[in-house]
Homo-oligomer: A and B are copies of this chain.
């Protein structure tokens, strides 16, 4: 942040505002305080018969890697609406019967993943603008070496574990990146 988006001044300071307890970007000219908060990523594991809907990313980051549909929640929508919208945008797929399935905090990148299970209407899907291809996959079809993000891998592993037990429970946890590519995962 280089300039105040309110008054245009360059007198932006990272400082703890009065009554607050952590540094914020504050404009020394008009006193506007700028807050930055975590974003929600809403996703959908869309089931059709014995398979789930997967997308091969046509955008960065992780171009060419696989994920289930997921993306940033927008203003003026609910979390489940965001999950359904992302599924439509990425895989031209309609979903119904959304059930909250997991909530994961990723503090190192200021994201919170909220993932739903849902039914893929009529099993129909085709690549949206952000996908190179889409596919219905069982556990053995999943390209486990080419999963776009660790939280997607974690969610998929949980899903297939639950599926094997035929008992889906809500998953809640934190994933923090450690040194290198390792993650600490806390499951509540």
Residues in chain B near residue A89, CB distance under 8 A: 21
Partner of A188, one of B75, B98, B172, B188: B98
With both chains docked as a complex, state the minimum distance between the C-beta of A129 and any C-beta of chain B, in angstroms. 7
Task: Tell me the interface secondary structure of chain A in the complex.
Answer: loop
Q: Which of A31-39, A62-70, A119-127, A144-152 contacts B (4 or more CB under 8 A)?
A: A31-39
A78, B105: Cβ atoms under 8 Å? yes
Question: How far apart are the CA atoms of A107 and B129 in the complex, in Å?
Answer: 26
A-B contact pairs, 28 of them (CB 8 A): A1-B5, A2-B6, A2-B7, A2-B8, A3-B5, A4-B5, A5-B5, A5-B12, A5-B34, A22-B74, A36-B75, A37-B74, A38-B40, A38-B75, A40-B40, A73-B112, A76-B108, A76-B110, A77-B105, A77-B107, A78-B107, A80-B105, A80-B172, A80-B188, A81-B105, A81-B107, A103-B103, A170-B170
